[in-house]
Structure 1
Amino acid sequence: MRRSLAFKFTFLVIVWLLLAIGCMQVPPRLFWPAAFGAMSLPLALGANLLLAGYWLLRRWPVALIPIAVAVLTWPHLMRGLALHPLYTSAAPASAPELRVLSANVRIFNVYPQLRNEGLQSSKGLIKWVAEHPADVICLQEFYNEPRPTSDGTVFNAVRQIGRLQKREAFVSNTLVNSMGGEFGMAIFSRYPILRRGTITFNKLTQNHAMWADVRLPSHDTVRVFNAHLQSMSMDERDIVDSYSSKHGLKTKGLGLLRRFKRGVVSRSIQVDTLVRRIEASPYPVLLCADLNDTPFSYSYDQLADHLQNAWATAGTGFGASYNGKLPLLRIDNQFMDPRWQVQQVRVRRDVPYSDHFPLEATYRLQKSR
């Protein structure tokens, strides 16, 4: 009887796993509850591995079934928990190299509720970015004050980041406040930017994308995309409250559900637009993005169908990029098309100024069209 139940449970877990993978293919704009099924994939993958261990101890031939499923779904497991401790790149040393830094800098903590004494976090983050040796820097939630204000030149980010390493700046502004402060995104490059453009998702907001064609010293031209997809606009305290008690679920749950729906639907539309622009690129593509989504989502899956994820390819561990109470959350990513090979990738958890940790990687260009 116990063995019969174990067989049935194994079958159900495999069905659950396959359905969760299928849910990642469903655009939330068509059926948004599928996003919940996709989010359950890590649990299904873990349950399948536990069942493989169970059957190895009890009846090893049966273990071949969950083991075979684990092998077939291994790339999905690697999305969330990369295991590459001995990774080495096969790209030749003579191939063109590009060092890339991406980060959501949370408008350099300019809002009063984000500031600390002496604007130390703001100054520290801008200084850290400016001194970073990256060839290309992609920043989301960027903020710049081109003219001195009551805070002096603390937030003149374009000048500080561009001047130290002699970088060219491309900034897409979505809003200018009464003090002349500019909100948007930015791409900085030590190499010439030949062309540039902005991708709006119906209208220009903080959630948009931008691209720049960068000419490398090898005379290869590459296209760098920088994207910031729709946020859930969910306070992590509300999320914690919703699952901590029945009262929290009752008072917070419905509002969180509405925001969740709005977020997944918007991101599905935005990522489809972004993928079309990536497909149309005449040059090798690198994408830096704050997806505001996990590796088990429609947004990530659509990008993974066209590009390789740097962390899933060369990282080790969860690669958590969110600096908050929600654990193991990787919503910041760098992607590359097959003409690139990642040399190394790292989440800079030692840089705590924002609610996102920066992500840095080095790439070698294998070939161009």
Structure 2
Amino acid sequence: MFWPAAFIALSLPAALVLNAAMLVYWLMRRWPVALLPLAVLLLTWPHLMRGLALYPFGNDAEAPATLRLLSANVRIFNVYPQLRDPDLHSSKTMISWLAEHPADVLCLQEYYTEPRPSADGVVFNTERKIGKLSGRESFVSTTLTNSIGAKFGMAIFSRFPIVRRGVINFGKLTQNHAMWADLRLPQGDTVRVFNAHLQSMSMDEQDIVDSYSSKAGLKAKGLGLLRRLKRGMVKRSVQVDTLVRRIEASRYPVLLCGDLNDLPYSYTYDQLADHLQNAWATVGLGLGASYNGKLPFLRIDNQFASPQWQVLSCQVRRDIPYSDHFPLEATYQLRPAKSQTAAAE
């Protein structure tokens, strides 16, 4: 990846907004001049639609033989002292909500589970609560186990049998990775679900806010933020290339969930969108912002589907604010064999 091009790509939303403003201005002042920004708008329309979905009605979410998929970065269920609130309210509520959710498949990033009771009782025994007690099989990919036997990593929970599973490592110097599970559907089809967490920027949110709030903040924070931004872009480019190779090798229809830590105009998103359809861009409405923090309008959590799937619905669950990411929920249906071939072509 040529990393300077990645920086330029991130400026695309601002350029598109400026072009739209010029279009409106010249329509009111001298309409022939407006033909130029109109042409630019038409030429960049596919890129605009990556960040702004315009599908108010979606598809028929009540179709039979569907698969309901929920993905979420759960921020280790706020187990760290600085994330906790009184009586572990947010932790308990988030865990209960996931356990009771009717989704067929859950893909969780920044996952945490305690295999046996600790000082907090059974609050964080999440693999059992979200898995076995909720009628789901579990597959936990562990990146770290602490002194009490608690596991940190990612997880896939499925109401369908998990017939095969695996982990995709991105190298020895990072805990970021991906995992996959082959699921046997009731009608006999096998599908492959990927769950991925790509390299973060390792940037403090307040530093970013400070950098654009004043000249002094930009001078003090700007250069360091740019360095981290570059490192994150380069690492994610290698990670997504690894992930794409595994997607291409799949003999089954693919669903992919993940915290990409990147925007719809990035190299990361571009590589995935070249092979898969993005659920939000296909049936969503609006920006689909999934980051729950001070930085607005960021869609860094996504679900993708191979052409064999029809995306029926997709929504960002902004009513579940217990992590720094909002959950993403979508419904899919496998296309008939003839339709699958046509969609792939």
**Quick check: TM above 0.5?**
yes
Determine whether 1:125 maps to 2:86. Answer: no
Q: Which one of the candidate residues 26, 41, 58 is aligned to 1:87?
A: 58
The CA deviation at 1:259 is 1.2
* Mean Cα deviation higher: 239-248 or 350-359: 239-248
- Given the superposition, is the C-alpha separation of residues 161 and 204 from structure 1 closer, same or farther in structure 2, using an over 3 Å criterion? farther
Residue in 1 that maps onto 2:130: 161
- Given the superposition, is the C-alpha separation of residues 184 and 290 from structure 1 closer, same or farther in structure 2, using an over 3 Å criterion? same
SS of 2:319's equivalent in the other structure is coil
- Give the distance between the partners of 1:163 and 1:201, measured in 2 at CA: 30
Residue in 2 that maps onto 1:271: 240
- Residues 90-169 of structure 1: matches in 2 within 5 Å? 93-94=63-64, 96-169=65-138
Residue in 2 that maps onto 1:55: 26
The CA deviation at 1:62 is 4.0
The CA deviation at 1:119 is 1.0
Q: TM-score, normalised on structure 2?
A: 0.94
- Give the distance between the partners of 2:173 and 2:158, measured in 1 at CA: 23
The CA deviation at 1:101 is 0.2
- Given the superposition, is the C-alpha separation of residues 288 and 56 from structure 1 closer, same or farther in structure 2, using an over 3 Å criterion? same
Aligned CA RMSD, in angstroms, stands at 1.7
- Give the distance between the partners of 2:276 and 2:259, measured in 1 at CA: 16
Report how many residues are paired.
338
The CA deviation at 1:252 is 1.8
Residue in 2 that maps onto 1:35: 6
Contact 1:174–1:205 (CA under 8 A) maintained in structure 2 = no
Q: TM-score, normalised on structure 1?
A: 0.88
SS of 1:33's equivalent in the other structure is helix
SS of 2:245's equivalent in the other structure is helix
Quick one: which amino acid aligns to residue 365 of structure 1? L
Partner deviation per Cα, 1:48-90 (whole Å, 9 max, x = no partner) = 222333333344344334323322322211111111113335x
* Mean Cα deviation higher: 202-211 or 359-368: 202-211
Where structure 2 has 5 or more consecutive residues not aligned to the other structure, the ranges are 341-345
Determine whether 1:77 maps to 2:41. Answer: no
The CA deviation at 1:130 is 0.5
Residue in 1 that maps onto 2:252: 283
Quick one: which amino acid aligns to residue 43 of structure 2? L
The CA deviation at 1:164 is 3.5
Partner deviation per Cα, 1:238-293 (whole Å, 9 max, x = no partner) = 11111222222222222212211111110000000001100111000000010000
- Give the distance between the partners of 2:34 and 2:210, measured in 1 at CA: 40
SS of 2:242's equivalent in the other structure is helix
Q: Which one of the candidate residues 68, 92, 114 is aligned to 2:39?
A: 68
- Give the distance between the partners of 2:236 and 2:107, measured in 1 at CA: 20
Where structure 1 has 5 or more consecutive residues not aligned to the other structure, the ranges are 1-26
The CA deviation at 1:45 is 1.5
Contact 1:145–1:180 (CA under 8 A) maintained in structure 2 = yes
- Give the distance between the partners of 1:65 and 1:33, measured in 2 at CA: 27
- Give the distance between the partners of 2:334 and 2:11, measured in 1 at CA: 36
Contact 1:140–1:227 (CA under 8 A) maintained in structure 2 = yes
Determine whether 1:46 maps to 2:35. Answer: no
Work out the percentage of aligned pairs sharing the same amino acid: 74
